[in-house]
Structure 1
Amino acid sequence: MDVPAPRRRLGGRGHHRGDGLSLLFAADVPEDVAGVLTATQRPVVTAAFTETASAAAWRTKQSWALVAGADRTISPEVQRFGAARVGVVVELPRASHAVALSEPTRVADLIRDGVRATI
């Protein structure tokens, strides 16, 4: 599938043209919701792709990972690689990058499980 490249980069920011955002980011959410996402998207700070973390919290804190199996923004293989380090992984095979919108109950359950396990 061809996905449109970011429209432009301004001051270290980039964003996708609206005609490809819903396919790339939110393929499994209702069309009206995807339309709102497209209309209200904000440019991503390109430093988000190059900045390094000073420490990995998952090395010292119990963590969880959710793999969105149909994500076209972050490859599910890349997500699985990172999630394997965490130890507790929930995979939603049909979920897009907008998994919090398409599977809100499952995402909330994962968050609640994490909270319960750490208090």
Structure 2
Amino acid sequence: MRLTEQGVIENFAPDLPEAEARVLFVTQGPLSGTTFKDAPTKAAWRSKPSWFVVSANDRVVSPQMERDFAARMNAKTTVLESGHLALLSHPADVAAVIDEAVASLHVPA
């Protein structure tokens, strides 16, 4: 399964420059056949602290579903005004969430 060029530009990467979205389109690989079949045997969020970035303008995964996942995980949640690819469109904000998670888990040597 592959996204169409229009699908990448308008839905998958709408808040990226169009040239960058086109690069994502031409370099995308096919989705693995097991992507939606494999199930984890143990969810780490049940026993470990979790952080979650909700992409408020996501057109691939419902932002409400993202919020629901975060709530179920009891995750420290950050909401970004971004599409699906917050990691690319808001890298500093996502890095700040990662930094916060790392800092909170720091165990003295």
Q: Does 1:59 align with 2:46?
A: yes
- Aligned-residue offset at 1:50: 2.5
Identity of aligned residues (%): 36
1:90 pairs with 2:74: no
State how far apart, in whole Å, the 1-side matches of 2:77 and 2:33 are.
Answer: 28
Number of matched pairs: 105
Cα distance in structure 2, aligned partners of 1:112 and 1:86: 19
Deviates further, 47-56 or 105-114: 47-56
Tell me, in whole angstroms, the C-alpha distance in 1 between the residues paired with 2:88 and 2:29: 17
Residue 22 of structure 2 corresponds to: 35
Confirm or deny that 1:111 pairs with 2:104.
Answer: no
CA RMSD of aligned residues (A): 1.1
Q: CA deviation at 1:19?
A: 2.2
Cα distance in 1 for partners of 2:69, 2:33 equals 20
Partners of 1:26 and 1:44 in 2: how far apart?
Answer: 17
Q: Aligned partner of 1:84: which letter?
A: A
Which amino acid counterpart does residue 37 of structure 1 have in structure 2? Answer: L
TM-score normalized by the length of structure 2? 0.90
Which secondary structure state, in structure 2, belongs to the residue aligned with residue 16 of structure 1?
A: coil
Residue matched to 2:60: 73
1:16 aligned residue = 3
The structure carrying a bigger strand percent of its residues is: 1
Q: Which residue of 2 aligns with 1:4?
A: none
Unaligned runs of 5+ in 1: 1-13
Q: Kindly state the Cα deviation for residue 18 of structure 1 after the two structures are TM-superposed.
A: 1.5
Q: Can you give the 5+ residue segments of structure 2 that lack an aligned partner in the other structure?
A: none
Note the C-alpha offset of 1:21.
1.2
User: 1: distance between equivalents of 2:97 and 2:21?
Assistant: 24
Q: Which of 15, 21, 26 in structure 1 is aligned with 2:13?
A: 26
